[in-house]
Amino acid sequence: MVFCTSLIFAQANNKNEVPANVQAAFTAKYPNAQVKDWEAVNEQFTAKAKEAGHKYFATFDKNGNWVNTVTKYNWPGHLSPPVKEAFKKSEYSGWHIYAINIVESPAGQVYQVMVDDANHKINANHQELFTVNHTIEFKQDGNQVKQNIIN
């Protein structure tokens, strides 16, 4: 049974299993990208790709329609000026930014800012104690649209 599950998963990740229309849509949107891998989940296909030194995940539906693209960064330098300003004015301004996702979709662009309270006390097993993690979402204009606790 484990073998069958592994075989099915491997087939879903095989680039040859990605429909031609999805591959064509990806190439049209990102003509200079280098695709490392494809993953298929719920009739959506996500390409793990790299272009101009940036890694991202571009998702398309089975009909070749672009769903979204997520680009991950580890520093706040990629925040737009309105988002930087909104973050500085938020209740999380003193928190540590440890990751940023820029999510582009047909509906627009959203910045997901992952923060922790910078409480890095550890116990004898080197496990963090009392650390709180949040994801805060901002629209490109700096309006905060959502926040979630990650823990």
Q: 10-28: per-residue pLDDT in tens?
A: 444 455 589 999 999 999 9
Q: How many domains does the chain have?
A: 2
Same domain membership, residue 141 and residue 93: yes
**pLDDT for position 116:** 84
Chain-centre distance of CA 75, in angstroms? 14
**pLDDT for position 3:** 42
**pLDDT for position 36:** 96
pLDDT > 90 fraction of the chain, expressed in percent and rounded: 53
Same domain membership, residue 42 and residue 108: no
Rounded CA gap, 79 and 9, in Å?
35
Instruction: Look at the alpha carbons of 64, 56, 147, 137 in this order and tell me if their dihedral is positive or negative.
Output: negative
Pairing of strands 133-139, 144-149: antiparallel
Q: Provide the residue range defining the domain that includes 51.
A: 2-72
Confidence of residue 6 (pLDDT cuts 50, 70, 90): very low
DSSP characters for 68-89?
Answer: EEEEEESSGGGS-HHHHHHHHH
Same domain membership, residue 83 and residue 62: no
Q: Which of 25, 57, 72 is the last residue of a domain?
A: 72
Q: Which of 22, 40, 72 is the last residue of a domain?
A: 72
Same domain membership, residue 108 and residue 85: yes
Q: 31-84: per-residue pLDDT in tens?
A: 999 999 999 999 999 999 999 888 999 999 999 999 999 999 887 888 989 999
Is residue 49 a contact partner of residue 36, using CB atoms and an 8 Å limit?
yes
Looking at residue 116, its amino acid is D
Rounded CA gap, 93 and 6, in Å?
44
pTM of the predicted protein model? 0.76
**pLDDT for position 109:** 95
Confidence of residue 123 (pLDDT cuts 50, 70, 90): low
Q: pLDDT: is 142 or 103 the higher one?
A: 103
Same domain membership, residue 137 and residue 83: yes
Q: Which of 57, 72, 87 is the last residue of a domain?
A: 72
Is residue 140 a contact partner of residue 111, using CB atoms and an 8 Å limit?
yes
Name 102's bridge partners.
71, 111
What is the separation, in whole angstroms, between the first and last Cα of the chain?
Answer: 33
